Amino acid sequence: MTEGDDPKIERFLQGKMSDTEKQAFQEDMGSDAALADEVSFRSDLAKAIRRKKLISQVHAEFKADDFFKKEETKTAKTVPLRASNNKFLLRMAAAVVLLILAGSFWYANTSYSNAQLAQIPFDNIRALGLTEGNRGGDPVELTRLKEATVELDQGNFAASLGQLSSVPDSDPNYAVSQLYRGYALFQMQDYDEAIPILRGIIAGETDNIVKQKAEWVLLNCLLEQNDLAVEFSRLLNEILANKGHQFYRQSLTLKEKLDSGWRILVF
Amino acid sequence: MNDLLEGLIAETPTAIKSVYQIGYHHCKWAILNQDGTDSDAQDVFQQAVFSLLERVRQPDFEIGNLKAYLFQSCRYIWLKEKKERRTTQLVEQFSTDIPDEDETGLKAIKESRIEAIYKALDQLEENCRTLLDLTYFEKQRDKEIAAMMKYKPNFVRVKRKRCLDHLRQLIH
C-alpha cells in the first residue's frame, strides 16, 4: 500500500469508482494485504459512524418526547388498604433494617479494618538529619541512603531495597538504612521479612528517634498480620505509657479505633 | 419478531425505535440499581443497541427474548464500565457473575472491531470526529471538507491520516 492509494480508497468506499476502476482496485486488494486491511478498517469506521449517527438521531427524538423520564408503563392496580398490607410493610421494614445493617458492616469494614488502621506515610518515618550527614559516615553509603530515600518518596519500594541492603553494619547510618528497609518491606506487605529487621533495631539501637520509628512500623506490621496478641499489646502499651514518644498521638488514635464499637461489631 | 429482525439488519429507524420501546426502561432499572444515573443508562443503552445491530448479522444469532437480551447486554456493558471506572469492590463480585451464557441462551459478548471503533470515536478530538463524519457519513469531497473546516485542500488528507492513526491506536 502507498500514499497514492489514499484517494482511491476513499473513492472506492464512497462508491464513486466506475465498474472498471472498481474491478482493478479489488484486484489490487487481492494482492496487497495491507491495502485490503486498510480498506476493511475504513469500511468498519464508515459503518460505525453511520450506525452511531442513526442511533443518536433516534435517541434525540425520544429525548425530545421525554421518553427517558417516563417510567415503564404498567397496568394500574388499586390496592385496598387491608390487613394483608401489613405483610408488605413488615417486609419493607425488614429490608430497611437489613440495608442499615449491611451499610454498617460495610462502613466498619472499610473504616476500621486492619488495613485501614495501618497507614504510614514515609514522612512519618523519615526525619530531618538522618540522611543529611549528621551521623557522619562514608559519603558513598550516604549517597546510597539518599538515593534510597528518593525511591521511597516515589513509592519504588522494591528499587530502594538494593541500596538499603548494601549499607554495612559498621556504617553510622546502618540503623537508619535498616529502618527504611523495614518500612519498604512493610509497604510491599512482606511483613515476615520486615518484622525481624525492626525487632533487631529495637533491641540494639540506642538512638531513640530511630528506635521509636522502628517500634511504630513494627506495630503496624503486626496489625496488618492481625497478630494483636502479646507483642502487639506490649508495644502499644509501652508507647502509650510514654507521652514523649514520637507516635504517642497516633497510638492513642489507634487504640481508640481498636476499642471502638464499630470494630467490635465487625471484628 | 421477524420483521423487527429484518429491520435491524437493514438498520431502519423504525426498528431501532422499537428496540428502545421494548428494552430501554428495563435497562435503565438495571443501571439505576447498580449506582448508575439516567445519563449512564442512556449512554449504555445506546451502546447496547449498537452491539445488537452488530450481533443480528451473525449467522447463529437468535433472540429468545429481546427484552431479556437487552437487559443482559446493558448489565454487561455497565459492569464493564464500572470496572473501568474502578468505583467499588462490589464491582469485582458482580463482574464475576457474568455468565458465559445468559438466560436467553446467547453466547458471551465479544467485542467486534466496529464496536471498538464506536467507543473510540468519542475519544477523538472534535476536529477529527467532524472530519471523519464529513468523509464517511456525508461523503463530502476533500475540497468541500477543506472549505468547511477552513483547511488547505492538501491538508485534509494529512489530517485524516492522523485521525485514522490515532483511532487505530485507541482501538489497539
Q: How far is B74 from chain A (nearest CA, A)?
A: 15
pLDDT-based confidence at B108, cuts 50/70/90? very low
pLDDT at residue A111 in the model = 75
Determine the average pLDDT of the residues in B164-170: 93
Q: Which residues of chain A have pLDDT under 50?
A: 75-82, 128, 132
Query: What is the pLDDT, as a whole number, of residue A144?
Result: 81
Provide, as residue numbers in chain A, all residues whose Cβ is less than 8 Å from the Cβ of B160: 6
Give phi and psi for A203, each to the nearest 5. Answer: -70, -35
Q: Does the CB of A52 have a partner CB in chain B at under 8 Å?
A: yes
Of the candidates A47, A58, A59, the beta carbon closest to that of B114 is on: A47
CB contact under 8 A, A42 and B136: yes
A51 near B CB under 8 A: yes
B131 Cβ neighbours under 8 A, 6+ residues apart: B145, B149, B156, B159, B160, B163
Grid cell of B104 as nine digits = 436467553
Rg (CA), chain B: 19
Indicate whether this complex's ipTM tops 0.90: no
Cβ neighbors of A241 (< 8 A, separation 6 or more) are none
Residue A247 vs residues A189, A197, A215, B52, B96: alpha-carbon distances, Å: 21, 19, 9, 60, 42
pLDDT tens across B129-154, in order? Answer: 999 999 988 888 889 999 999 998 88
Q: Chain A residues with CB inside 8 Å of B139's CB?
A: 14
A145-163 confidence digits (pLDDT tens): 888 888 888 888 888 888 8
Residues of B with CB under 8 A from a CB of A: 11, 13, 16-17, 20, 24-26, 28-29, 38, 41-42, 46, 49-50, 53, 113-115, 117-118, 121, 132-133, 135-137, 139, 142, 157, 160-161, 164, 167-168
Tens of pLDDT, residues B6-39: 888 888 899 999 999 999 998 998 888 888 899 9
pLDDT, residue B104, reads 41
Type of residue found at A51? R
pTM (predicted TM-score): 0.50
Give chain A positions within 8 Å (CB) of B168: 41
pLDDT band at B1 (very low <50, low <70, confident <90, very high): low
pLDDT value at residue B90? 53
pLDDT, one tens digit per residue, over A226-260 is 888 889 999 999 999 998 888 888 888 888 888 87
Gap between the Cα atoms of A235 and B123, Å rounded = 54
Distance CA A151, CA A157 (A): 7
Q: In this complex, do B136 and A54 lie within 8 Å of one another by their Cβ atoms?
A: no
Tens digits of residue pLDDT in B67-103: 888 988 898 889 888 887 765 555 555 554 444 444 4
* Neighbour-count burial of B170, counting CB atoms closer than 10 A to its CB (0-12 exposed, 13-18 middle, 19+ buried): middle
